[in-house]
Amino acid sequence: MRHNKKINHLGRTYAHRDAMLSNMACSLIRHKRIYTTVPKAKELRKYVEPLITKSKEDTTHSRRTVFKYLNNKYAVTELFIDIAPKIGDRPGGYTRILKTGFRLGDNAAMCFIELVDYNDNMLKPAKGAVKQKTRRSRSKKKSEDVVAATPTQTKEVKTEEVTTVAPEEVTAAPAPKPKKAPKAKAAEKTETPVTADETKPEEIAAPEVATEPAIETAPEAAIEAVQETAPEVAPEVASEPSPSEATDTTDNA
């Protein structure tokens, strides 16, 4: 039983498998992209990525170690001179597998394996391309948009109501004019203060205004009263003796 034995032998012996992966690694370093089956590409990734990490230190020991696996001095030179400086800042993940479908005949899964930093089409973002966003970010943005849209809608409705109702109110009931009289009175009071002496003539003049209509309304009654008193006074005056008659009466007595 093969418990915990995850190595894929690829149907070959150890020597054959090692030679095949070494040749594939040299081809990948020189051409930056090769076309092979998915199982071989996965095994090649495990084989070549440690060598690329080793090439970050350009020393004699590192070159000899890499040459032990590749057995190709041209591939080693290109790895240390061209590839290592370009991939130096990347912390692993130097290769990419792109599946293309199935091969005709045996229906084997095929793919491209390439170096990540040498695919210009994948590095440059497409013009006008929109980045994919998760559902959580969309839900948050939607909720923010709804919250931001509701106050504006209510404000717009209120403004429309005011504009439609205002003309009707003006035509039906005009606005009352401002009262200016109290202000004028207050100004008069401040300009001409009232004193105690000025109030007395007003009180005296009040009864005179009241007596005028009484005289005008009853002139005949006054005349009649004068005529009645006149005859009464006349006989009394006539009955009184004159001074000469008074002397005569005194003599006779």
The one-letter code for the residue type at 127 is K
pLDDT digit string (tens) for 93-105? 999 999 999 999 9
227: helix, strand or coil: helix
Cα distance between residue 4 and residue 12, in whole Å: 19
Q: Please state which of the four CATH numbers 3.90.1030.10, 3.40.50.170, 3.40.50.300, 3.40.630.30 is assigned to the domain occupying 14-123.
A: 3.90.1030.10
What residues contact 42, with CB distance under 8 A and at least 6 apart?
A: 8, 97
Cα distance between residue 151 and residue 155, in whole Å: 6
pLDDT recorded at residue 64:
97
Cα distance between residue 224 and residue 243, in whole Å: 33
Per-residue pLDDT of the chain (253 residues; tens, 9 = 90+): 889 998 999 999 999 999 999 999 999 999 999 999 999 999 999 999 999 999 999 999 999 999 999 999 999 999 999 999 998 889 999 999 999 999 999 999 999 999 999 987 877 765 666 666 666 665 555 666 655 655 555 445 454 544 544 444 445 555 666 555 555 444 455 555 554 445 444 444 444 544 444 445 455 655 666 566 555 544 444 455 555 555 555 555 4
> Computed over its alpha carbons, how large is the radius of gyration of the chain?
65
pTM of the predicted model, to two decimals? Answer: 0.49
Hey, where are the domains in the chain? 14-123
pLDDT recorded at residue 186:
47
pLDDT recorded at residue 250:
55
